[in-house]
Amino acid sequence: MRKLLMMAFIGLALFSCSKKDKVDGNDEPPINPIPGLGETAGDIPGTAFVLPQGIVLEGAITGESLNPLCKEVGTGRFVDVYLILKNTASAAVNVTLPAGLTLKSVSGEDQNGILADSYDISIAQGTACIIKLNAYCANASKHPSSYTSRYTFGPICNAPAITYLLKLLKNKDLSKDEDHSAQGIIWMITDNTTASENSGTVWKLVKEQIALLPNK
């Protein structure tokens, strides 16, 4: 029900756009279809995510619950996955999961995931750390993750509209986003279907919604 309400809000917001609305001289980028996000086919644009030296991914990134957890990060709801990172180095290693990091569905039927914030995880020497990662959905029309879902690390998305959105969200405390409004905001970019000349109106609506989120 909450997802339906979010989608209804997005639909109403985007319906209010007018062809007269254009991005002005500020730093707002146009909102165009992004490969791998929304209903746009293709590979998500970005820079490859590489684990630090000494850290290896054991097994698959899965929607199936794994225990015992040593860390849970992320504030999304629809792409909840588990992964095991093992430290083979001779000392503790810090792993940074950056904002914009994507999770690519292996089947292509499940939603791809994206992180809206950056997270640091320290993994002790010789430790295999089970991590639960709560990512946001980047394809509203696809299936949420389930116990049968399998994922791989996607790139750190560098599409201009995503980069700008993450900049706007940077100082917001998404862990206190009790209404999960951030997911609807992300869909307004990933699943936007209006013409790019309407970007100014969409960004105005996005900024109005972000202003309601609690600050860090």
Task: Tell me what pLDDT residue 194 has.
Answer: 86
Helices 2-15 and 199-211 pack at an angle, to 10 degrees, of 140
Q: Which of 1-5, 31-35, 134-138 has the lowest mean pLDDT?
A: 1-5
User: Side chain identity at 148, as an amino acid letter?
Assistant: T
Give 115-169 pLDDT, tens digit per residue: 999 999 999 999 999 999 999 999 999 999 999 999 999 999 999 999 999 999 9
Looking up tokens 């991005």, which residue turns up?
23
How is residue 118 annotated by DSSP? -
How is residue 35 annotated by DSSP? T
Record the tokens describing residue 78, joined without a space: 């629809």
Of 173, 166, 89, 103, give the one whose Cα is nearest residue 131.
Answer: 103
Distance of CA 133 to the CA centre of its chain: 11
Other Cβ atoms less than 10 A from the Cβ of 198: the count is 21
How is residue 54 annotated by DSSP? T
pLDDT above 80 (res 42): yes
- Cis bond leading into 68, ω under 30°? yes
| Spatial CB neighbours of 185, under 8 Å, sequence gap ≥ 6 | 165, 169, 206, 209, 210
Mean model confidence pLDDT for the chain: 90
Other Cβ atoms less than 10 A from the Cβ of 5: the count is 11
User: Side chain identity at 72, as an amino acid letter?
Assistant: E
pTM, entire model:
0.88
* 99: exposed, middle or buried (Cβ count in 10 Å: 0-12, 13-18, 19+): buried
**Intra-chain end-to-end CA distance of the chain, in Å:** 29
